[in-house]
Structure formats: C-alpha cells, structure tokens
Amino acid sequence: MINVKNLDKAFGDNHILKSVNLQVNEGETTVIIGPSGSGKTTLLRCMNLLEIPNGGEITLGEVTLGFSKNKRLTEKETISLRKQTGMVFQGFNLFPHMTVINNIIEGQVTVLKRSKDEAKKKAELLLEKVGLAEKANSYPYELSGGQQQRVAIARAMAMDPKILLFDEPTSALDPELEAEVLKVIKELAKEGMTMIVVTHNMNFARDVANKVVFMEDGIIIQEGTPEKIFNHTENDRMKRFLNIVG
C-alpha cells in the first residue's frame, strides 16, 4: 500500500528523519509511538507532502516519488500522492465560518469536482457514520473537541483516500472525549481502512494496531506486532520507554 524508503528530512542543520524505511500493508493499522521530538509527526507530514523530504522515496499505490535536495516536485506529482491520503490533525483544522456539513462538502466539490448534491449525500452518510448526523448545520464553535475531531475524520474520509493519517488525534482531548474519537477510529480499523496513527495512547496501540513502530531520534528503533512490542521486546530503550508511559 505505502512504502517509504531511506526517507530523509532536515530543517537547516536539524536532521529530523534519518533514512527511515517503513512499509504499511493495505487494510492494516500501523501505530507509531515514541518520545516527543522523535520524528513521528514529520514522518506523517512527509507522507502527505505537507513537508517535502530531502531524500528517499515514497510509493503509494501506483505512484512512486523520489526526493533529493535539488529536485522540485511538480504540482501534478504532489496532487497524485495527496489525493490518495487523508490527514487528521490534532488541532481539528475545521473551517470556522462553515457549518459542519459544508466543511465536509467543500473539498469534494473543489478537489474531486463532485456535484454539490453528490457531495452532500456523501457528507450526510459520513456524519451518520461518526454519530453526528444531528450536528450537520452546526458550526465548529458549537461542538465539543471530540465532536470536532469526528467531523475532521468524516471530512478526510469524504475524499475517498486510500490511507488515513492521524497525527495524535486525541492529544487535545480529555479522556471522555478521547474515548469517543478512538471508538470511531477502531470502527474504521475493523472495516479494513488502511491507517497510520501517531499516538501516545498505549492502550489504543495494543488494542487496534496490526503493527507498532517505535521511533526515536529520527530512526525506527523497532517494529512488530503489539504482542512483540509490548510483551516481548528485548530492546532496552523500548523497555525504558514503556516503563515510563505504561
């Protein structure tokens, strides 16, 4: 589904990603964990080309893009990858001046060129799916944080992505609101949606992940099934991290 090879990213002299290799299979949920500043979010943003890597290669479906310091991507290349990914941010990023349903309609009409009627039907189905059908005509400021994040998930899904990328989707939420968002993500996992989730929630990683990836200092230290990572790791750094976060 998505294959990352030797991915590098630096901001000036700050080398964030160091020859990262990662493969995510179709229909699987990969959860990325690790201490703050380890490169997790940057890796996710590179996969969606919100940050352009300095080196390496990303393959998503039939699209393969190579990167180097001297190469600039064309708009066509950028769109070819972005159209296959949906991004859910920790800060929701909804349009505050639009109703919930219009937040979900907007991208479908402007990017996918769907008719407004078709986009509205899709939006209504997705709002029902995330349990917010009754909030269609509300504005973001009228919603709780958990509700806003569920709208953000519906908006990402409306673009029919091949893969959903979640950047710490519950970090801004209290435990009760976190639970309602994680419930939606767990349902998507059961349905076979391909997902990469950056999170600090170890219980979620244990319950939902097909594969857990532990990052530190811009490299992948270890990856494997939740059983291997949480119960049978022999990596001392991994053990210390799990002892701290539980």
Question: What tens digit of pLDDT does each residue of 33-73 get?
Answer: 999 899 999 999 999 999 999 999 999 988 999 999 888 88
Alpha-carbon distance of 70 to 30, in angstroms, equals 31
- Residue 239 is predicted with a pLDDT of 85
Residue extents of the structural domains in the chain: 1-30+37-83+203-246
The pairing of beta strand 14-24 with beta strand 2-11: antiparallel
- Residue 44 is predicted with a pLDDT of 96
Q: Torsions phi, psi of 168, nearest 5?
A: 45, 60
Q: How does 65-74 read in b/e, with b if 16+ C-beta sit within 10 Å?
A: bebeeeeebe
Q: pLDDT band for position 246 (50/70/90)?
A: low
Task: Report the percentage of the chain scoring pLDDT > 90.
Answer: 76
Question: What tens digit of pLDDT does each residue of 201-217 get?
Answer: 999 999 999 999 999 99
Tokens found for residue 105: 């309609």
Alpha-carbon distance of 34 to 217, in angstroms, equals 9
Read off the pLDDT of each residue in 121-146 and give the average, rounded to a whole number: 96
Q: pLDDT band for position 99 (50/70/90)?
A: very high
Architecture label for domain 1-30+37-83+203-246: 3-Layer(aba) Sandwich (3.40)
- Which of 186, 182, 233, 244 minimizes the C-alpha distance to 36? 244
Tokens found for residue 48: 């969606």
Read off the pLDDT of each residue in 235-239 and give the average, rounded to a whole number: 86
Q: Tell me the chain's radius of gyration from C-alpha atoms.
A: 18
Alpha-carbon distance of 148 to 154, in angstroms, equals 10
Q: pLDDT band for position 194 (50/70/90)?
A: very high
Res. 244: pLDDT tops 80: no
User: pTM to 2 decimals?
Assistant: 0.93
Spatial contact of 142 and 121, defined as CB atoms under 8 Å apart: no
The pairing of beta strand 211-216 with beta strand 29-33: parallel
Average pLDDT over the chain reads 93
